[in-house]
Amino acid sequence: MLHRPIYLDCHATTPLDERVLEAMLPYFREQFGNPASSGHAYGWAAAAAVTQARETLAAAIHAEPEEMIFTSGATESNNLAIKGVAEAYFSQGRHLITLATEHRAVLDPCAYLESLGFEVTYLPVQADGRIDLEQLEAAIRPDTILVSVMAANNEIGVLHPLAAIGALCHRRNVLFHTDAAQAIGKVPLDVQAMQIDLLSLTAHKVYGPKGIGSLYVRRKQPRVQLAPQLHGGGQERGLRSGTLYPPQIVGFAKAIELAIAHQVTENQRIDTLRDRLWQALQAIDGIHLNGHPTHRLAGNLNVRVDGVDGQALLLGLQPVVAVSSGSACSSTTTAPSHVLTALGLSAPQAYASIRFGLGRFTTAAEIDQVAQHVTTTVRSLRQAVGQAV
């Protein structure tokens, strides 16, 4: 049997938790009804499951159930939030603000809006990857309608001060959207306390199924208006037409329920493993941490190694550990990571960077094995080109 590598790419996706699968199974066969079928028991059962799931998701972020709109994932949620706001509020302004380090699911919709005549300000970040709040405030104009800043960066794990951003946006009467795909279940999220108006979620980053996500849309103080991007049957308050898929929705809710229930203890465990890995890797001469050392996800470790070809390092690591050099959504490009270059890294430094994503099923024994293999691989690569180990 082929030995599978140790999986440390949990920012790309996570394995489906067995408990999530167990919750989903009845809705593939026995409870297969359409939630919109209101004339019989099959539809009622499906609708009840969707209602319960919506309540679970809302409670996780301190929202109201009717404020949760089901989508196919965070990419669709981001598109609905950004393009939906732009279309609904274009008479009030055509300026948006985001960060240069955002996920492509935010940057590409913004670029699309620019092609339609909107203006987008792409703020730089500090050397540690965090937003400069003074720069954000200075960038807000009378015609600014939306600020979009992700909660946790998918490459370097950096956490942004959501409450401070939300307070600033509301003080200036600007809507605030955050892509929280990487943050949910890992850091506390409270849309009321943080004054978040739109928040994107996905299931597959927290041991749930792929293909299901949600967008929180604030209904009061202020009531956010959105132009739907999908038209059809009028599901999801008319904001996202399409037949709901109960197995995915039930799995999404179960995954969030488990993540929230164990958030504190799991963060402590993973943080300890991450620090153990980083401590072991510091035996490598010329290794550096990318991003803020403490304001980051517990399971994230993004490092670069001086004088080592990143692609060669990835290939050398593959038999033992599955990691990545950046976002899985843009791994087909040959360009250096836009996130790492935004930190001020050169192209060679960005190419020489590796992202470790620890998760629920990572063990201490695996961490020790990975650290040893990384050290050995770097030594071999350097010896091959005559460098010091």
Residue 307 pLDDT = 87
Task: Spell out the residues 6+ positions from residue 279 whose beta carbon is closer than 8 angstroms to its own.
Answer: none
Per-residue model confidence as pLDDT tens digits over 65-116: 999 999 999 999 999 999 999 999 999 999 999 999 999 999 999 999 999 9
Give me the phi and psi of 22, to 5 degrees please.
-60, -40
Quote the number of domains for the chain. Answer: 2
Per-residue model confidence as pLDDT tens digits over 374-389: 999 999 999 887 655 4
Asked if residue 330 has pLDDT above 90, the reply is no
Residue 319 belongs to some domain of the structure: yes
Is 309 found in the same domain as 173? no
Task: Tell me if the bond preceding 319 is cis, omega within 30° of 0.
Answer: no
User: What count of Cα atoms within 13 Å lies in the side-chain half-sphere of residue 85?
Assistant: 30
349 sits in which H/E element: helix 347-351
Is 127 found in the same domain as 156? yes
Residue 389 belongs to some domain of the structure: no
Interatomic CA distance for residues 237 and 9, integer angstroms: 36
Interatomic CA distance for residues 389 and 381, integer angstroms: 9
Q: What is the CATH number of the domain that holds 377?
A: 3.90.1150.10
Are 241 and 230 in contact by the 8 Å Cβ rule? The answer is yes
Q: What share of the chain is helix, strand, coil (3-state, %, to 5)?
A: 40, 15, 45
Span of 51-55, 128-132, 234-238, 252-256 with lowest mean pLDDT: 234-238
Asked if residue 351 has pLDDT above 60, the reply is yes
pLDDT band at 1 (very low <50, low <70, confident <90, very high): very low
Q: What residue numbers bound the domain in which 295 lies? A: 6-14+263-384
Is 267 found in the same domain as 222? no
Active-site residue set: 329
- What type of residue is 383? Q
Is 144 found in the same domain as 54? yes
Q: What is the CATH number of the domain that holds 145?
A: 3.40.640.10
